Structure 1
């Protein structure tokens, strides 16, 4: 059987294939993360570390997995949690944090938090810190957090 395409028909066929391929490679992100009550602690004079706290709400239909946070405000930014064992408290790095669909996850003092190790900027009250939340699905979300005085939190 012989197929003959007009120029217009051939162009439509090529566009259809290209559109189909581009739709196949498009990543569909499940839900969005709403950030609230977010702040970074002012650096105590003489210290080189700080912490950030926030509430993350997942309004999507699927869990979101936070795998890292990036910021130019520190040499390293890590996800941490406080562990209470036998009347001792210690911090431990965690590889990921799951924000369940339709729920909230809290980064708060004494619990999970974002650790700024080796701060590279002043982190004084009234300044802002840019951060990028990186998720396991390849998506990222840019946020801007205020630096607050340690006296007010």
Structure 2
């Protein structure tokens, strides 16, 4: 009787582990398109990176953090309009809907690279490590594009 109970518990445990490992790689279900970072003047302390995240899974996936060697701090941000003023704020995550996509773009959702360790100029490459809710990660290598190539993005924002 005790052996049957132990066997049942072991089978339940194995089933749980295999179900968890099937779900535990959200990064593998994310396709990244058109990634780029924004060029900034040599004295700038921050830049931003953008991309489109496509989710090939049946579940919503949350991007919960990012990291890069080019910056001391990396945060997920969004822009909002408040009484005619565009404001930027840190957010806890970015949701990529099941079988859908989320655009990180100038004037919307984006990844902020704060307290830069080095200059970021057009033609450079920047690596950003994305971390998803299950702990899985995906590294994105992206080109740096000039402000002129982005339609002369205006920097009149409050943070």
- Consecutive unaligned residues in structure 2, runs of 5 or more: 1-9, 151-159
Shift of residue 91, structure 1, vs aligned partner: 0.5
What's the TM-score, normalizing by structure 1?
A: 0.81
- Consecutive unaligned residues in structure 1, runs of 5 or more: 1-16
1:4-153 superposed matches below 5 A = 24=17, 27-28=21-22, 29-30=25-26, 32-153=29-150
Taking only aligned residues, the RMSD between alpha carbons, in angstroms, comes to 1.9
* Mean CA deviation greater in 65-74 or 28-37: 28-37
**Bigger radius of gyration among the two:** 1
Q: What is the SS of the residue equivalent to 1:27?
A: helix
Give the distance between the partners of 1:149 and 1:110, measured in 2 at CA: 16
What's the TM-score, normalizing by structure 2?
A: 0.78
Q: What is the SS of the residue equivalent to 2:69?
A: coil
Q: What is the SS of the residue equivalent to 1:24?
A: helix
Q: What is the SS of the residue equivalent to 2:112?
A: strand
Q: What is the SS of the residue equivalent to 2:21?
A: coil
Q: How many residues align?
A: 135
Q: Which residue of 1 aligns with 2:3?
A: none
Shift of residue 24, structure 1, vs aligned partner: 2.2
Shift of residue 23, structure 1, vs aligned partner: 8.2
Q: Deviations over 1:109-136 (max 9, x none)?
A: 1111111111112211111111111000
Q: Deviations over 1:75-106 (max 9, x none)?
A: 10100001101111110000001101100101
